[in-house]
């Protein structure tokens, strides 16, 4: 993190702090893993971020902006926590908790609901995609989702947010909310947050349609690889993944206009810690009938230790809950004074 990117406003430089979250709105996908969790782990372990707090949340209040069966929500929250830990997040190094345990998120979100404008929310791609043609019937929470997300980040004065490409627009809105709050009240209080969008798979696409992102809530299970899929399921989904009839190119430019081919190569590159160009140097000229088994083997080798560890952790849900409660206590200790200062700035008596 350079000095220039430490969340600074015009007059103030903020201490770097990392925040991100994932919704327990279903099982974790390969998209969540490559686009988000791997980055969380990288940032946790980065030497130049030693001493920087890393706060990783299970955003259950975001999840309920669309209907969640209560039992599924509980299970998915624990499974997400297990996924974080199995992928390499260490509760002694990163703060792990579920959002609803720290009421300050929702409290700051109310202030932001009064700062943000309706027009800003209406422009959000996620709102348009998820509400679809039936906006009148979507929840008010779904509409206000980006305002709560801004509060998740800014209640910690977080400066850096590792996310997949799809969340870039929400981070830009977080910046707009911080700027407007600072301007409205004539303060330099909230930092201007930077998205951290890195790696070969910042946007993993559906295995069935290269124009749609891989998503937990896609009605087709064949469209995604779940972190809990076994080797047979992974192999079957990759075998059936949509592709075109041509061989793989040797140069990156050869993937132009070939969304499905690009997606599989991106996934391979990300899983193998290579660039797309390096992968194509090795596999250029191969048919998908040869490349798909290579990808399956790699995916199974990388994912099965994580899914095995997730299953082990899920056998002791009480231990997961204890980790989340402890994380929530640490998170609250950071969020509470920032919320109180925001209340003072707004003019609320306490
Ligand atoms: N396909 C993806 N490729 C790369 N990154 C992705 N992320 C999600 N899908 C992909 C990243 O994962 C983090 C958590 O996302 P989220 O659960 O908060 O919400 P989402 O982006 O809406 O994820 P899903 O899987 O599509 O959930 P549903 O189906 O419930 O909406 C974010 O950093 C996101 O960028």
Q: How far apart are CA 191 and CA 160, in angstroms?
A: 10
Q: Does the beta carbon of 226 lie inside 6 Å of ligand 1?
A: no
Active-site residue flag, 133: no
pLDDT of residue 6: 58
Q: How far apart are CA 83 and CA 117, in angstroms?
A: 36
C-alpha distances out from residue 30 to 27, 94, 228, Å: 10, 21, 10
Q: How far apart are CA 119 and CA 117, in angstroms?
A: 5
Query: CA nearest 21: which of 145, 203, 182, 179?
Result: 145
- CA 143, 64, 197, 112 dihedral sign is positive
- Count CB atoms within 10 A of the CB of residue 77: 24
pLDDT, tens only, 95-104:
999 999 999 9
Give the residue carrying structure tokens 């902006």.
65
pLDDT confidence of 12, banded at 50, 70, 90? confident
pLDDT confidence of 217, banded at 50, 70, 90? confident
Structure tokens at 95: 């703060």
Q: Does the beta carbon of 153 lie inside 6 Å of ligand 1?
A: no
Q: Does the beta carbon of 265 lie inside 6 Å of ligand 1?
A: no
Q: Does the beta carbon of 65 lie inside 6 Å of ligand 1?
A: no
pLDDT of residue 139: 97
Q: Does the beta carbon of 224 lie inside 6 Å of ligand 1?
A: no
- Higher-pLDDT residue of 248 and 201 is 248
Neighbour-count burial of 80, counting CB atoms closer than 10 A to its CB (0-12 exposed, 13-18 middle, 19+ buried): buried
pLDDT, tens only, 34-43:
999 999 999 9
Out of 130, 180, 302, 326, the active site residue is 130
The ligand 1 atom nearest the CA atom of 202: 4
Protein residue with least CA distance to atom 14, ligand 1: 22
Active-site residue flag, 213: yes
pLDDT exceeds 80 at position 9: no
The ligand 1 atom nearest the CA atom of 165: 35
pLDDT confidence of 5, banded at 50, 70, 90? very low
Domains delineated in the chain: 3-202+316-346 (3.40.50.620), 221-312 (1.10.240.10)
pLDDT of residue 282: 96
Q: What is the mean pLDDT of residues 211-226?
A: 94
Q: Which of 60, 167, 208, 271 to mutate to test the pocket of ligand 1 (most atoms within 8 A of CB)?
A: 167
How far does the centroid of ligand 1 lie from the alpha carbon of residue 282, in Å? 30
pLDDT, tens only, 303-332:
999 999 999 999 999 999 999 999 999 999
Active-site residue flag, 130: yes
pLDDT, tens only, 169-194:
999 999 999 999 999 999 999 999 99
Out of 54, 216, 237, 292, the active site residue is 216
pLDDT confidence of 199, banded at 50, 70, 90? confident
Out of 12, 128, 168, 213, the active site residue is 213
């Amino acid at each position: 993190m350079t000095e220039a990117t430490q969340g600074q406003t015009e007059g103030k430089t903020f201490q770097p702090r990392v925040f991100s979250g994932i919704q327990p709105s279903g099982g974790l996908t390969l998209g969540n893993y490559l686009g988000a969790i791997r980055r969380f782990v990288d940032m946790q372990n980065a030497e130049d971020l030693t001493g920087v707090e890393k706060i990783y949340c299970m955003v259950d209040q975001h999840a309920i902006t669309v209907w969640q069966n209560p039992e599924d929500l509980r299970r998915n929250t624990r499974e997400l926590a297990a996924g974080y830990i199995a992928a390499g997040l260490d509760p002694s190094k990163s703060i792990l908790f579920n959002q609803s345990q720290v009421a300050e998120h929702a409290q700051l979100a109310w202030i932001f609901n009064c700062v943000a404008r309706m027009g800003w929310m209406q422009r959000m791609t996620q709102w348009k995609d998820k509400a679809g043609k039936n906006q009148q019937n979507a929840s008010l929470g779904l509409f206000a989702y980006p305002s709560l997300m801004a509060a998740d980040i800014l209640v910690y004065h977080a400066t850096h947010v590792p996310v997949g490409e799809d969340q870039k627009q929400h981070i830009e809105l977080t910046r707009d909310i911080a700027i407007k709050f600072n301007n409205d009240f004539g303060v330099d209080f909230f930092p201007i947050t930077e998205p951290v969008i890195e790696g070969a798979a910042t946007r993993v696409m559906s295995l069935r349609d290269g124009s749609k992102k891989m998503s937990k809530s896609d009605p087709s299970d064949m469209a995604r690889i779940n972190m809990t899929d076994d080797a047979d399921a992974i192999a079957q989904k990759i075998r059936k993944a949509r592709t075109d009839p041509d061989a793989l190119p040797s140069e990156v430019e050869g993937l132009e206009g070939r969304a499905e081919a690009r997606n599989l190569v991106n996934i391979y590159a990300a899983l193998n810690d290579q660039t797309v160009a390096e992968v194509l140097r090795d596999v250029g000229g191969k048919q998908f009938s040869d490349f798909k088994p290579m990808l399956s083997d790699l995916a199974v080798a990388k994912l099965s230790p994580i899914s095995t560890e997730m299953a082990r952790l899920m056998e002791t849900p009480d231990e997961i809950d204890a980790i989340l409660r402890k994380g929530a206590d640490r998170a609250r200790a950071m969020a509470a004074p920032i919320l109180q200062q925001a209340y003072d700035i707004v003019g609320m008596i306490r």
